[in-house]
């Protein structure tokens, strides 16, 4: 157990927001599938899995994306693999997607579906006031994708693969670009966050810096 704990902490210390990737080094299919599987198995609110992993490997597609995602430019050029994580926007309590997911993925009997829909209705409308506007629902859905993002980055670090989370892109332009490419499933998805995976070109110039634990933890 102590060895496993240390391995996990070592992975967190190893991981950093890689600025430049070594273009000559590629992630094996087996290793990348492992990373994707940790994303697939990630938890989400009510277990609705409101994400899709758009893997961008085409050099031509990457070149066009660079123009509207300045924060991803160097990563798109050098990273072995690049993902745009999309988030579902049709996640209202009574949406076709939610009902279908409950019945076919979670395999709930109809009576449980009806009960959960009512509970979800209260959660969205009263508890968190998510139904007041589309942006609130989008933000709730998008937050779930960051769980999958973090799990994939941590899993990658545990097998010696670098990663970089990226929000440096023009949301409207990226959304329009993906829509023109018919990659948003007729408006059911929107871009949430991007992430690059690969192998660092050089070691970090300074050690990892974080606040001390006693500065961020408060026991009640």
Query: What distance in Å separates the CA atoms of residue 139 and residue 154, rounded to the nearest whole number?
Result: 23
CA 93 and chain centroid, separation: 22
Phi, psi (degrees; rounded to nearest 5) at 118: -65, -40
| DSSP-derived secondary structure letter, 126 | I
Query: What distance in Å separates the CA atoms of residue 204 and residue 28, rounded to the nearest whole number?
Result: 24
Number of separate helices (H) and strands (E) present in the chain: 9, 4
Q: With bands split at pLDDT 50, 70 and 90, how would you rate the model's confidence at 73?
A: very high
- Answer yes or no: are the C-beta atoms of 85 and 195 closer than 8 Å: yes
209 in a structural domain: no
- Average the pLDDT over 122-129 and give the result: 96
Longest dimension (CA), the chain: 58
Signed CA dihedral, 151, 155, 158, 160: sign only: negative
Q: With bands split at pLDDT 50, 70 and 90, how would you rate the model's confidence at 147?
A: very high
Q: What is the mean pLDDT of the chain?
A: 97
For the beta sheet containing 51-55, the strands, ordered from the edge strand earlier in sequence to the opposite edge, are 51-55, 81-88, 189-198, 162-166
174 in a structural domain: yes
104 CB-contact burial (10 Å; exposed 0-12 / middle 13-18 / buried 19+): exposed
pLDDT confidence of residue 152: 98
User: For the chain, how big is the Rg over CA atoms in Å?
Assistant: 19
212 in a structural domain: no
56 in a structural domain: yes
pLDDT confidence of residue 144: 98
Count of domains for the chain: 1
Instruction: Check pLDDT > 90 for residue 136.
Output: yes
Instruction: Check pLDDT > 90 for residue 62.
Output: yes
Q: With bands split at pLDDT 50, 70 and 90, how would you rate the model's confidence at 61?
A: very high
156 in a structural domain: yes
* Residue corresponding to tokens 């300074």: 206
CATH assignment at residue 145:
3.40.109.10
142 in a structural domain: yes
39 in a structural domain: yes
- 10 Å Cβ neighbour count for 148? 26
Q: Calculate helix-pair angle for 29-40, 134-158, nearest 10 degrees.
A: 140
Q: What is the pLDDT of residues 25-40, one digit of tens each?
A: 999 999 999 999 999 9
**How would you label 62-98 residue by residue, b for 16+ Cβ within 10 Å and e otherwise?**
beebbebbeebbbbbbbbbbbbbbbbbbbbbbebeeb
Q: With bands split at pLDDT 50, 70 and 90, how would you rate the model's confidence at 9?
A: very high
- Average the pLDDT over 165-191 and give the result: 98
Instruction: Check pLDDT > 90 for residue 131.
Output: no
pLDDT confidence of residue 60: 98
Phi, psi (degrees; rounded to nearest 5) at 70: -60, -35
26 in a structural domain: yes
Q: Strand pairing partners for 97?
A: none
Least Cα distance to 85 among 167, 187, 202, 199 occurs for 167
pLDDT confidence of residue 132: 86
Q: What range does the domain containing 82 cover?
A: 2-202
Instruction: Check pLDDT > 90 for residue 206.
Output: no
Instruction: Check pLDDT > 90 for residue 79.
Output: yes
| pLDDT over 70, % of the chain | 100
pLDDT confidence of residue 54: 98
């Amino acid at each position: 157990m102590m060895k496993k704990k240390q391995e996990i902490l070592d992975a967190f210390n190893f991981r950093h927001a890689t600025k430049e990737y070594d273009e000559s080094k590629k992630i094996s299919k087996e290793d990348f599938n492992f990373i994707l599987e940790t994303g697939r198995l990630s938890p989400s609110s009510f277990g609705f899995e409101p994400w899709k992993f758009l893997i961008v490997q085409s050099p031509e597609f990457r070149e066009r994306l660079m123009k509207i995602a300045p924060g991803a430019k160097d990563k798109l050029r050098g990273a072995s693999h690049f993902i745009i994580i999309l988030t579902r926007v049709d996640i209202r309590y009574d949406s076709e997607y939610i009902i279908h997911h409950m019945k076919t993925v979670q395999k709930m009997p109809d009576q449980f579906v009806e009960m959960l829909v009512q509970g979800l209705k209260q959660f969205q409308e009263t508890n968190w006031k998510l139904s007041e506007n589309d942006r609130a629902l989008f933000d709730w859905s998008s937050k779930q994708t960051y769980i999958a993002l973090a799990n994939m980055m941590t899993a990658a670090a545990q097998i010696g693969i670098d990663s970089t989370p990226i929000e440096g892109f023009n949301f409207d332009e990226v959304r329009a670009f993906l829509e023109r490419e018919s990659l948003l499933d007729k408006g059911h998805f929107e871009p949430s966050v991007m992430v690059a995976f690969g192998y660092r070109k050089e070691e970090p110039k300074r050690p990892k810096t974080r606040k001390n634990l006693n500065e961020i933890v408060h026991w009640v």
